[in-house]
Each structure stands twice: as C-alpha cells, then as structure tokens.
Amino acid sequence: MAEKPITDEKRVFMTGNEAVAWAALAAEAEIMYGYPITPQNEIMHYWTRLAPKYKRKFLQTEDEISAGFTTCGGVLAGKRAFTATAGPGNVLMQEAMSMAEMMRIPTVVVVQQRGGPSTATVIYSQQETTLTCFGGNGEGLRLVYSTSSHQELFDYTIKAFYMAWKYRFPTFVLGDGYQAKMRESLYLYNPIEKGMPLAESYPFLGQEGRPGVEREPSHLRNTYNTEEELYQIISGYVEDYERMIPEVVEYQVSDLEDAEIVVIAHGIVSRAAREAVKVLRQEGRKVGYFRPITLRPFPTGKLREIAPKAKKLVVAESAQGQLFKLVQEALYGETVPLEPYFKPGLGITGEELVEFLQSNFGQ
C-alpha cells in the first residue's frame, strides 16, 4: 500500500486547483478522468504529478462528453472517480451527468466556473449555477456545494465523495476561476485522522461471482418503456432526494438578529458580502448575511425563516439572476422585496457592495 498523501495536519499556501487535487487524494479518490479547459487545468496537472506516487490513476479523454462518461464508467466499476471542468466543458459534461442522475451513479465533478455564455472568458463567473444545479434533461437531482475559500474547496471536495456515495446522487463542487487560480492559506489534513469516514465505494458492475449462477446479473439501464414505469422510478428518486434534504442542506448566516437588509450571496461573492456586512455593522447599519452552501438542495427552510423579519433582501451574484431564481423559488408567497445586484461574468468587490447596500438604506 502506498503511503498516505497527508499525515499530519499542515498549513499550506497554494492555489485552489492544487487544493482540490490534494483533497481528492485525501478522500482516496482512485481515478480522475479529465479534459483540458481553463481555469481547471491545474487540478489535472497536480493530480497527474501526485497520483502515481499514491497508486492513483488518470486518463485524459477526447472531450468532456467522454470525461463525464468515463467517470460514470469508473464509478460503475466501483471506484471513487472524479472529473473537473468549466464553462463549455460543463455544458458537454451534462449529458453524462443526466445519466448519472437517472442511474444514481455517485460521480464527483469539480466545476471552476468561467465566463459565459459560449467561450466568453477563461477567468471567472457564477454563470454555471443553473447549469450545475439543473443541467441535463432531468429534475436536478444532484448535490451542489458552492465553495468560497480554499479551505472549503478542500473540505467539500472530500465531503463530495462521501455524500455522493452515501446518497447516490451526482455531486458537484462549484468553484470558480478566482478560487481556481488565487493563492491563500488553508489546512490540509487526513480526513480519517479527523474521524471523518471515507466514502464507501462498491461496484455496480463486475461484482464477484458468476452472474445468473451464483448471483443475479447487474442489468443497469436508463431507458424505460412506459410513462408509468418512468414516473414510478423518478417519484422514488424524488422521495429519496427529499428525505435527504434535511441531512445535507448547508448554509452560513451572520448578523441576522435585527437585520433590516439581508444580503444573499453564494460562493466567492459571499466573501464580498461578509466584508460589506462587517463594514456596515461598524457604521451601525442593521445588515445581515445569508449564504447558501448547498445550492441543490437549496436551504429553503432557513431562508423562509429569515425573510419575513427583513425589510429587504439583496441578492448579489456574478450572473444575471441565477441565484436570484433559486431565492425567488424558495420565497414564493413571501412579500419581502428582493433587490438584485447582478454582475454577469464580473467579480464583485466588498467596496462596491458596501456602497450598494448603503444606497439601499436610503442614503
């Protein structure tokens, strides 16, 4: 057995892509399938350098369609398999992810969002929120973690493997180009030593024993003959998904007690939001903060609890209303006004949010 990639907890200073590669190693991911696209390339670069030392594998595929489907194949074979992508690659990846959704294949995909639509920029955006949550011709039966720091990229990549295999829904770690490329500090650790269980993987295909003789063969399909058959299958999945929600949903809040305005943001933009809340609180402004960590499932319950107490909710995102739609859906029937702050494809700074929030207090 190869030595453990991480033994003692240690503070490091690195890029987010490097943090993801270490997290996948720590989570004992066994194989990565991938296709080059900026800004996720360095995940593959670090993985291909580190993987052989720890007896892990890598395959560079011909495109993201293949990266998605080979990842499905690796998981079906019983391995903790993952891939990483961005932008147009994420679009192509959705075909395989819809199969993963239908066949309950616990794939892990790390998405480092870039600008869109189309090729757009290789830099940054939050425009893959809808795609990652609801891509494919299905119902969005997925788990999507939106991270905001390198520590979270590390923590949630490890967690993604565990949750994917526990609940058998395709699981996504939704980062972005900033998180991919920036450097900041984080702690690397071995999850086992922290008492965190590893994902229990098992084969869906190729189990031991002669099929049809010693055991039933595995016959897996995603095609059904009748509407009723499909409806029954999907209804069962939806029940599983809804049962899972209270166990997996995550959010972060602060300064809500007396908040008149609550700023809602996810991912890296939540850092600007927290910064702004801090500055405004020092000015005596009654402003609070809400950040969904799981975008699918969305922390609807918590948001509905907060909303009636606020006079206004400000939704800030580097997209034209993709988080906004999730918030709107969660708050259907509530009367609290929603104020958009949309910057599609553009980073959001703390300073600009401070000014925007000030203007919302009627200054």
Contacts for 87 with CB less than 8 Å, ≥ 6 apart: 37, 113, 114, 115, 116, 119, 120, 122, 128
Cα separation of 327 and 295, whole Å?
10
Stretch that binds other proteins, among 160-168, 215-223, 294-302, 321-329 (CB under 8 A): 215-223
Least spacing, CB of residue 179 vs other proteins, in Å: 8
Q: How many residues bind other proteins (CB under 8 A)?
A: 69
Cα separation of 179 and 181, whole Å?
6
Stretch that binds other proteins, among 180-188, 248-256, 297-305, 337-345 (CB under 8 A): 180-188
Residue 57 CA: distances (Å) to CA of 33, 76, 79, 117, 186:
9, 16, 11, 32, 26
Out of 36, 52, 117, 203, which residue is the one contacting other proteins (CB under 8 A)? 203
Q: Binders of other proteins among 9-28, rule CB under 8 A? A: 13
Q: Encoding tokens for residue 53?
A: 């030392």
Out of 2, 118, 223, 333, which residue is the one contacting other proteins (CB under 8 A)? 223
The three-point CA angle 37-38-40 to 5° equals 85
Cα separation of 229 and 307, whole Å?
40
Out of 197, 212, 246, 362, which residue is the one contacting other proteins (CB under 8 A)? 212
Stretch that binds other proteins, among 154-162, 190-198, 214-222, 251-259 (CB under 8 A): 214-222
Q: How far apart are the first and last CA of the chain?
A: 64
Least spacing, CB of residue 182 vs other proteins, in Å: 4
Q: Binders of other proteins among 42-101, rule CB under 8 A? A: 57, 59, 61-63, 65-66, 69-79, 81, 95-96, 99
Q: Binders of other proteins among 90-149, rule CB under 8 A? A: 95-96, 99, 103, 121-123, 149
Cβ contact 164:170 at 8 Å: yes
Stretch that binds other proteins, among 161-169, 181-189, 256-264, 285-293 (CB under 8 A): 181-189
Least spacing, CB of residue 236 vs other proteins, in Å: 19
Q: Are strands 108-113 and 183-188 parallel, antiparallel or unpaired?
A: unpaired
Choice between 5 and 68, CB closer to other proteins: 68
Q: Binders of other proteins among 269-328, rule CB under 8 A? A: 269, 271-272, 274-275
By CB under 8 A, tell whether 207 contacts other proteins: yes
Q: Are strands 108-113 and 171-176 parallel, antiparallel or unpaired?
A: parallel
Beta bridge partners of 113: 176
Least spacing, CB of residue 269 vs other proteins, in Å: 8
Strand order of the β-sheet with 312-317 is 251-254, 287-292, 261-264, 312-317, 338-342
The three-point CA angle 290-87-12 to 5° equals 65
Choice between 153 and 330, CB closer to other proteins: 153
Q: Encoding tokens for residue 322?
A: 């993709």
Applying CB under 8 A, which residues contact other proteins?
13, 30-31, 33, 38-39, 57, 59, 61-63, 65-66, 69-79, 81, 95-96, 99, 103, 121-123, 149, 177-178, 181-185, 203-207, 209-213, 217-223, 268-269, 271-272, 274-275, 347-352
